[in-house]
Amino acid sequence: MNIKLELEALQPSMVAMRRDFHSHPELGFQEFRTSKILGDHLEQLGFEVERNVGITGIIGYLRGGKPGKTVMIRADIDALPIFETTGASYASSTPGVMHACGHDGHATIAAHVATVFAKNRNELSGTFKFVFQPAEEVVGGASAMLEQKTDLMDDVDAVVGLHLWNDKPVGWVGVRAGAVMAAADSFTITIKGKGGHAASPHQAIDPVVVAAHLITALQTLVSRETNPTNTAVVTIASLKAGEGASNIIPESAELRGTLRTFESELRSRLTDRIKEMTVTLSSAFGATGSIDWVDGPPPVVNDSSLTSLFEQVARDVNGSVSTADQTMGGEDVAEFLARKPGVFFFVGSNDAATGRDKAHHHPGFDFDDERALPLAAELLAKTALEFSKI
Ligand SMILES: [Zn+2]
Ligand SMILES: [Zn+2]
């Protein structure tokens, strides 16, 4: 079995599959075409396949010829609500929907690792469980699969997944032991005051003023209440009040925001404090504050000994491996990594020479699929093989 050579031979097939997915992007929980192609692909390879897990998720099992551990290989498959501007020949054929994060690449990479593993089945140790997850961008795809299939992680010994990373060029590979991406919770605050004439504020309870105080007060949760050596973000990203009239005090104001943290203790304390401030500060002004809290995924935490194993594989495959920066972005691969040890790594994918170096979620996003896909697939395949022998 020569993983590198076999994947190199599959490079044209990888580029073709990725570009086909790219031109047929589907939003979270609507990845019916993508999911069917992946399910059919795995079935043709002789995998045992479960379809429609978490609406459009796919699970494929391949049992190797020798005993070993069960390794879960996770790839996400959804696109984003963006109008593509790349002008590529394989650009989105669905206006307003675009693979602008590289999940078309992730699905392709895992599918071709499956191809190589199936071909070499008898030589493999253990079981490989390929999980194609829907709806990463809207956060909820991993949870939907776990809710429908509550024993999804029971037989898994180790998890591996990756993200193509357009901030870095092809040839850069990064990983970080411990927390690498943040827990990403979101909330909607409603402040109910009392509407009235803008010229008679004494007869009203102005929710706009309360919202202004609350937004300012919430800033102190990070600046004054969080240990400066810890990391957290509280952002109010949306504020809505009134209908545009300058002479009406509105009845209510609505704030939407997000809390990002790495540590669970800090996460729960700041969650409590945001809720508490909403209620008490509103009531101090005679208004009523309520909050609708949505728990997002936990932080993405890489197992330290599996990260060391990955680093060995990466040095062997790529010659070098970097320590990835922590980011306050969220990723719901965290749901799987919170249940079983594993590694989520990053593979540089930009190519400035061909202009394929725009940021993730940019309407002009594209990446060097010719070079990044075979490299990422080799890393994923060899890491999964190492993990099957732990
Ligand atoms: Zn994304
Ligand atoms: Zn992504």
Cα 136 to averaged position of ligand 1 atoms, centre (Å): 8
Predicted structure pTM score: 0.92
Residue whose structure tokens are 């000994």: 305
- At position 266, the amino acid (one-letter code) is L
Active-site hit among 78, 137, 185, 366: 78
Report pLDDT for 1: 86
Which ligand gives the minimal distance to the CA of 103?
2
Active-site hit among 104, 136, 185, 386: 136
Which ligand gives the minimal distance to the CA of 102?
2
Cα 136 to averaged position of ligand 2 atoms, centre (Å): 7
**Contacts of 39 by beta carbon, 8 Å cutoff, 6+ apart:** 49, 51, 58, 60
pLDDT-above-70 percentage for the chain = 100
Which ligand gives the minimal distance to the CA of 165?
2
Residue in 107, 110, 112 with CA at minimum distance from that of residue 31: 107
Which ligand gives the minimal distance to the CA of 106?
2
Residue in 325, 371, 219, 235 with CA at minimum distance from that of residue 281: 219
Q: With H, G, I as helix, E, B as strand and everything else as coil, classify residue 43.
A: helix
Chain segment 345-359, per-residue pLDDT in tens: 999 999 999 999 999
Cα 130 to averaged position of ligand 1 atoms, centre (Å): 21
Is-catalytic flag, 303? no
- Output b/e per residue, 144-176; b: 16+ Cβ within 10 A: bbbeebeebbeebbbbbbbbbbbebbbebbbbb
Cα 87 to averaged position of ligand 2 atoms, centre (Å): 21
Cα 182 to averaged position of ligand 1 atoms, centre (Å): 14
Cα 101 to averaged position of ligand 2 atoms, centre (Å): 5
Q: Which residues, chain by chain, have CB under 5 Å from ion ligand 1?
A: 101
Is-catalytic flag, 357? no
Q: From first to last of its 390 residues, what are the pLDDT tens digits of the chain?
A: 899 999 999 999 999 999 999 999 999 999 999 999 999 999 999 999 999 999 999 999 999 999 999 999 999 999 999 999 999 999 999 999 999 999 999 999 999 999 999 999 999 999 999 999 999 998 899 999 999 999 999 999 999 999 999 999 999 999 999 999 999 999 999 999 999 999 999 999 999 999 999 999 999 999 999 999 999 999 999 999 999 999 999 999 999 999 999 999 999 999 999 999 999 999 999 999 999 999 999 999 999 999 999 999 999 999 999 999 999 999 999 999 999 999 999 999 999 999 999 999 999 999 999 999 999 999 999 999 999 999
CB 189 within 8 A of CB 288: no
**Contacts of 26 by beta carbon, 8 Å cutoff, 6+ apart:** 32, 33, 34, 77, 78, 79, 94, 97
**Contacts of 212 by beta carbon, 8 Å cutoff, 6+ apart:** none
- At position 1, the amino acid (one-letter code) is M
CB 28 within 8 A of CB 137: yes
Report pLDDT for 139: 82
Cα 160 to averaged position of ligand 2 atoms, centre (Å): 15
All domains in the chain, ordered by first residue: 3-182+299-387 (3.40.630.10), 197-294 (3.30.70.360)
Which ligand gives the minimal distance to the CA of 100?
1
Cα 39–chain centre separation: 22
22: its two tokens: 């790219």
363 to each of 23, 83, 359, how far by Cα in Å?
A: 14, 6, 9
Other CB atoms within a 10 A radius of the CB of residue 301 amount to 20
CB 68 within 8 A of CB 125: yes
Return the bridge partners of 164, or none.
Answer: 347
34: its two tokens: 């993508």
Q: Which residues, chain by chain, have CB under 5 Å from ion ligand 2?
A: 101
CB 331 within 8 A of CB 163: yes
Cα 138 to averaged position of ligand 1 atoms, centre (Å): 9
Cα 255 to averaged position of ligand 2 atoms, centre (Å): 26
Cα 355 to averaged position of ligand 2 atoms, centre (Å): 20
Cα 25 to averaged position of ligand 1 atoms, centre (Å): 13
Chain segment 128-137, per-residue pLDDT in tens: 999 999 999 9
Chain segment 220-279, per-residue pLDDT in tens: 999 999 999 999 999 999 999 999 999 999 999 999 999 999 999 999 999 999 999 999
